[in-house]
Amino acid sequence: MSHRSTDPHLAQRYGIKNKRIPSWLISAILIAVIGGGWLVWSASHFSKPEIRSTLISFNAVDSHGIEIRYSVQFKNLNKAHQCRLIARDYGANVVGEVTEDFAAGSPSQTRITLIPTRALAVNAGINSCQSL
């Protein structure tokens, strides 16, 4: 039998503590609970955005236009929405831009839009979408 664990004089002299739960474990549990809660909140909050847009395809029609097919999904059906579509050339310069409006009430839409360009466009995309 060890005298170290039963003799209070030796425990005080050598700094031996007979705690059942170490202090670092309490800190670790507290950090895990707060960090885990934040991770759950951020995952649920940012995985369901107000407006979700998806580029389906684009097709260069000629040197003066590119056709884009895309879909948008809206969380708030009571507001009108707006999306800005852009076309880029080989050097990634913006050569065309169109703003499309969406009326309130529709949860999702898929559209095919022609973006007029000032030069040959090689790709097109959705620059931004916002609620009005």
Q: Are residues 63 and 41 in the same domain?
A: no
Q: 28-38: per-residue pLDDT in tens?
A: 999 999 999 99
The per-residue pLDDT for 73 is 92
- pLDDT band for 122, please (50, 70, 90 cuts): very high
Q: Are residues 62 and 127 in the same domain?
A: yes
- The pTM assigned to this predicted structure is 0.66
Angle at 34 between CA 28 and CA 36, to 5 degrees: 95
Q: Which residues, in sequence order, are CB contacts of 70 under 8 Å at separation 6+?
A: 53, 54, 55, 56, 83, 85, 110, 111, 113, 126
Greater confidence (16 vs 61) lies with 61
Find the mean pLDDT for residues 18-23: 73
Q: Are residues 37 and 78 in the same domain?
A: no
The per-residue pLDDT for 95 is 94
- pLDDT band for 123, please (50, 70, 90 cuts): very high
Q: Are residues 56 and 92 in the same domain?
A: yes
pLDDT of residue 4 exceeding 50, the answer is: no
Residue 8's φ and ψ, nearest 5 degrees, are: -65, -30
Domain membership flag for residue 3: no
User: How many structural domains is the chain composed of?
Assistant: 2
Q: Are residues 56 and 81 in the same domain?
A: yes
Q: 67-96: per-residue pLDDT in tens?
A: 999 999 998 888 899 999 999 999 989 999
pLDDT of residue 118 exceeding 90, the answer is: yes
Q: Are residues 25 and 84 in the same domain?
A: no
Q: Are residues 57 and 33 in the same domain?
A: no
Residue pair 45/39 in contact (Cβ under 8 Å)? The answer is: no
71, 100, 50, 79: CA torsion to nearest 10 = -120
pLDDT of residue 5 exceeding 70, the answer is: no
Residue 21's φ and ψ, nearest 5 degrees, are: -115, 120
Q: Are residues 85 and 109 in the same domain?
A: yes
Q: 46-60: per-residue pLDDT in tens?
A: 788 888 999 999 998
